[in-house]
Amino acid sequence: MQNFEVSKHKKMNNRIKINQADPAAYKAMMAMEHYVESTNLSNKHKDLIKIRASQINGCAFCLDMHTKEALDHGETLQRILTISVWHDTSFFDEQEKAILALTEEITLISNKVSDETYNKAAALFDEGYLAQIIMAIITINAWNRIGISTQLEPAAQQ
């Protein structure tokens, strides 16, 4: 997580700041984030995972951060705007579709990860890359839960 600046257009957030209240917990989360950033996952794959999970979870802070990162990484605005409806477009390749499906099912874990979704991903990626995809999905879901429960907000554009 990069920018903890709170929007100036909303009342002051009185919720806990994990990084201040429990630095060891925050350090552990950052270790997971550093791990994800050190993997062989392409920026495009990491960006799709982070954006889709943040959309599903409703984390405005993470969605703002990761859409900006995706644009910086060369992602197109058209693809970013249609990630939530990826099933209905031809903008995503087979690997990206498998990642988006897996992201959705892991994020909505109470519905389970179907054999169909898992097997499709397993057929497209080697075990190491698939493990990295799963860990990236788990990590952004943890960040989303921190952002939502502590009411982190994106900074307003100047």
Alpha helices in the chain, H assignment, sequence order: 18-21, 23-38, 43-57, 60-72, 77-81, 94-107, 115-124, 127-149
| pTM of the predicted model over 0.85 | yes
The yes-or-no verdict on residue 1 having pLDDT over 70 is no
pLDDT digit string, tens, across residues 99-144: 999 999 999 999 999 999 999 999 999 999 999 999 999 999 999 9
141 belongs to a structural domain: yes
Query: What does the angle CA 78 – CA 59 – CA 72 come to, to the nearest 5 degrees?
Result: 40
Mean pLDDT on 47-68: 97
Mean pLDDT on 31-50: 98
Comparing C-alpha atoms, which of 119, 117, 114, 115 is closest to residue 100?
A: 117
Total domains present in the chain = 1
120 belongs to a structural domain: yes
pLDDT at res. 11: 53
Q: What is the dihedral of CA 138, 141, 147, 148, to 10 degrees?
A: -150
42 belongs to a structural domain: yes
- Parent domain of 32: 18-149
Report which DSSP code applies to 155: P
22 belongs to a structural domain: yes
Give Cα 149 distance to the centre of its chain: 16
For residue 32, what is the domain's CATH number?
1.20.1290.10
40: left (phi over 0), alpha (psi -120 to 50) or beta: alpha
